Amino acid sequence: MPKIMIPTPLRQFADKKDAMEVRGTTVGEALAELTAAHPDMKKNLFTDEGKLRSFVNVYVNDEDIRFLEKDKTPVAAGDTISIVPSIAGGI
């Protein structure tokens, strides 16, 4: 099964877990399973229209899904999906 890595800022919405194995065969299915298991996380990842928020980056095995097939990017057993929220700030 693919594994989703949950970043530290979002772990509070995922029972403090740092990862979750999912059965989905695409990134979209995997994220749907994650948010079904942890509904409070959905508003942090998706807009009200159901689109991935612009400041949330998702990678499959270090490849940015924006340059692949976006939420239709296939995933397989052993794949790692990383959620990387953008951090803003500075002086």
pLDDT digits (tens, 9 = 90+) for 47-69: 999 999 989 999 999 999 999 99
For the chain, which ranges sit under pLDDT 50?
Answer: none
Structural domains in the chain, CATH included, are 3-85 (3.10.20.30)
Distance CA 35, CA 18 (A): 14
Judge residue 23's burial from the number of C-beta atoms within 10 Å of its C-beta, 0-12 exposed, 13-18 middle, 19 or more buried.
exposed
User: Is 0.85 topped by the overall pTM?
Assistant: yes
